[in-house]
Chains A and B, each alone.
Chain A
Amino acid sequence: MHGVDANAPPTKGPDAGSRFRGFHEVSIPDTGQRIACAPGENILRAMERLNLRLIPVGCRGGGCGVCRIRVRCGKYVTRRMSRIHVSAADEAAGIALACCLMPQGDLEIEVLGSGTSNPMSTVNPLQG
């Protein structure tokens, strides 16, 4: 675990708004959607458990970068993520991969994604 408290944006405060005791509420203001994260649970996992599709899901291991997000405010810890997708400067700016980010309070985030796409996606439009 790499604590990022020193660089984290200011916290929002106690978990007064959480629906469940001990759960942290992750909100995406751009879309108005919310994810209730269990203690110690990463955001992507909580999202998948709730059967929501708010953040793209890739490898779930910090390697592929498709679940890249930025935390606008709130406290969290991360586990090791690919430096290709999250540089030290990114990390200091609150950028992380949702599969590696465990909230320690309520968070506000925005979804960034990886921004790369295979040319086969366009030469042959996918049906999925």
Chain B
Amino acid sequence: MAQSAVIRPGHVCLRVLDLEAAVRHYRDRVGLLEIERDSEGRVYLKGWDEQDWFSVVLREADHPGMDFLGFKVLGTDALARLESDLNAWGCVTERMPAGELRHCGERVRFQLPTGHVVELYAQKDFMGNGLGRVNPDPWLEGVKGMQAQRFDHCLLYGRDIDGNIALLRDVLKFDLTEKVVDGELVVAAFLSCSNKAHDIAFVRHAEDGKFHHASFLLGTWEEVLRAADIIAMHDISLDLGPTRHGITRGRTIYFFDPSGNRNEVFCGDYTWYPDHEPIIWTADQIGRAIFYHDRRLNENFLNVVT
């Protein structure tokens, strides 16, 4: 783990146009487990290998996209300290009461310079992965679809990604792992709070607050190919892949949920350590940076967002 008190992306709340169609997609195709529903009609799900109560929340709305992204931090002391650090940096925060999201403690909510709502929390009820902690089996039987292990990261689009990078590095102590530069201009940035190649990523875009994708972890390249089979079998809207990213080295496939929110399932990045220097990609090589095999970036990957 890096020096950050932030542990991982712990949940993402997505807006969907048709709740039941979305539940079928995330539960039966992506393979998350449906955990519960709350009085507002929101649906809570998690990957089979996640220990906390939920990692994905679906909310029906008249336009899709991301409501907020939550990061878990190490304890309530760290939460209070990060809250005051955010305030000192000039970031307005709001406390969301414990229980506002079922089984989740108090959350400190703020806005990134790109307008995305991010929140930190220290406590969420333990559910376990169903395998136990003493002499566990390696995987859970009966999981559906792509059998995503866990929610992994989001890619977000907006204008002031320099501000996002500064906030995440200076206040939350994320590391910049990779960036794409066009001369002096940073056009894309990948940041980690952990040993992963990225826990969050940003692409510069004319409109703020846009959602590019939520990504879920698979175990192997074979499982990525199997996910592609499931996409074809069930006529899911395919974006592109299976392929390889130059950036993060991930082996990946992109597709859309029934409301047009992009999903990724992937496997295999590298191990990040905090003494590493960031990897730099130059804009003239953007094709292989994003899609290593095709070496060509497509318009949809840049312009299709919710």
| With contact pairs A58-B304, A126-B296 given, residues A120 and B64 touching in the complex (Cβ less than 8 Å) | no
A-side contacts of B237, CB under 8 Å: 59-61
Interface readout for B272-301 with A: 1 if CB under 8 Å, 0 if not? 000000000001101100000000111110
Within the complex, what minimum Cβ distance (angstroms) separates A69 from chain B?
16
Contacts A116-B303, A119-B205, A124-B283 known; A61 to B257 CB distance under 8 Å?
yes
A63 at the interface (CB under 8 A from B): yes
Is B205's CB under 8 angstroms from A63's CB? Answer: no
B273 to chain A, nearest CB (A): 29
- Chain B residues with Cβ below 8 Å from A124 are 182, 187, 283-284, 286, 297
Are B303 and A82 within 8 A (Cβ)? no
Name the A residues within 8 Å of B221 (CB-CB).
none
Number of residues in A with C-beta < 8 Å to the partner? 28
B196 — which chain A residues lie within 8 A by C-beta?
none
The answer, among B18, B205, B300, for a CB contact under 8 Å with A80, is B18
Chain A residues within 8 Å of B257, by CB = 61
Interface string of A102-128 (1 = CB under 8 A from B): 000000000000101111110110111
Q: Closest chain B residue to A58 by CB distance?
A: B304
A28-83 CB contacts (< 8 Å) to partner B: 57-64, 66, 79-83
Question: Is A89 in contact with chain B by the CB < 8 A criterion?
Answer: no
Q: Would you call A84 an interface residue if the criterion is a C-beta within 8 Å of the partner chain's C-beta atoms? A: yes
Alpha-carbon gap, A69 to B156, bound state (A): 27
In the bound assembly, the distance between CA atoms of A126 and B295 in angstroms comes to: 11
Q: Once bound together, how far apart are the Cα atoms of A84 and B259, in whole Å?
A: 13
Q: Find out whether the CB atom of A82 lies under 8 angstroms from the CB atom of B64.
A: yes
Q: B81 within 8 Å of A by Cβ?
A: no
Which residues of B (28-42) have their CB < 8 Å from a CB of A? none
- A85 contacts across to B, CB distance below 8 A: 63
Determine how close the nearest CB of chain B comes to the CB of A34; give it in whole angstroms.
24
- Shortest Cβ gap from B223 to chain A (Å): 24
Selected from A118, A119, A123, A127, the residue in CB contact (under 8 A) with B296 is A127
Chain A minimum-CB-distance residue to B61: A83
